[in-house]
Amino acid sequence: MGRKKLLIVDDQIGIRILLLEVFATEGYETFQAANGRAALEIVRNHAPDLVLLDMKIPGMDGLEILKKIKEMNRDIKVIMMTAYGELDMIKEATDLGALMHFTKPFDIDEMRIAVNMQLGEDGPPSRFASGS
């Protein structure tokens, strides 16, 4: 099946580098985009399993990108990254199909655990798998 693919969409290079390092170490094939146009190009060409999507991106905002990702492929999982106080947008993102959100500055370990949970369904059986 190959490695799971993860796309990081954020206009801040520091956050992209941090997340790329973390998730490459976790064994994912990682992609990054600084804006919506680049993000949608990667979605079209690589069909990532999960997208970490910043809500506030110059040009096309996170909600618009989320909408377009879901139009292209409903099955792509999306986790939003938000600034403090974007609650109205978070509700809209959830309505559009985002799984969850992390408020910046987020705890990188919590993010890692959440991504592993979302992408782990056909990985090694979890400790919580029910025995027969």
- Residue-wise pLDDT for 14-56, tens only, equals 999 999 999 999 999 999 999 999 999 999 999 999 999 999 9
Number of H helices, E strands in the chain: 5, 5
Class level of CATH domain 5-122: alpha beta
- Residue-wise pLDDT for 80-99, tens only, equals 999 877 788 999 999 999 99
- Domain spans, the chain: 5-122
Please, what is the angle between helix 62-72 and helix 36-46, to 10°?
20
User: Which residues contact residue 18 at a Cβ distance below 8 angstroms, ignoring those fewer than 6 apart?
Assistant: 108
Tell me the C-alpha distance between 8 and 16, whole Å. Answer: 6
Token reading at 28: 């994912």
Residue 97, φ and ψ in degrees, nearest 5: 115, 5
**Global pTM value:** 0.89
Query: Are residues 90 and 101 in contact, defined by beta-carbon separation less than 8 angstroms?
Result: yes
